Chain A
Amino acid sequence: SQTIHQWPATLVQPVGSPLSLECTVEGTSNPNLYWYRQAAGRGLQLLFYSVGIGQISSEVPQNLSASRPQDRQFILSSKKLLLSDSGFYLCAWSDRATEAFFGQGTRLTVV
């Protein structure tokens, strides 16, 4: 069966520090991969999606970037965090967008 792992679960980082959140999927190949950010009252904001290795599409220009170095690995990064980057980050995978499978999320607090 397919599983998705996302870590860390919580993270407190100072302003200006770098960020790396990792997501890996098991049990499937060539999945569509997604990074979402969830802020209070704003629902799920799609940040990045990827349909294959090295293929990244950005939905919202911002201080973050994403990479897909392997088929089932998706990384969210920042060189310098801002206070506004605080939020709950969710990784998800999908097979042809008939449904999505989500990781447990990372609560990022930038201080």
Chain B
Amino acid sequence: EVQLLESGGDLVQPGGSLRLSCAASGFTFSSYGMTWVRQIPGKGLEWVSSINTSGGSTYYADSVKGRFTVSRDNSKNTLYLQMNSLTAEDTAVYYCAKGRGSGSSRREFDYWGQGTLVTVSS
């Protein structure tokens, strides 16, 4: 059974940093691209960042480019999101999601974690 378990969400002050983790199990982690999607409570879904299987290619939404860094450790089956210079606009539930396949299907998200809440406030 595929499982994705996020952790690391917390209350942080504006300008602060946080690192999210997503522990994966039930599939060959190193064979799939992975993605972070966020959702402001009560609002819609926003793609944040994606990473390819090896970690050699990363992609970011304009709203987080230069502040967030996605990475993965295939030996630990874990995805990460390092978030720096956080603002109130980054307050959201952050989900990690597995790409369904390769090519364009890597942007189809077939499994999602339960989410972790990041709150940026003084």
Instruction: Tell me, yes or no, whether A binds B.
Output: no
Chain B positions near chain A (C-beta within 8 angstroms): none
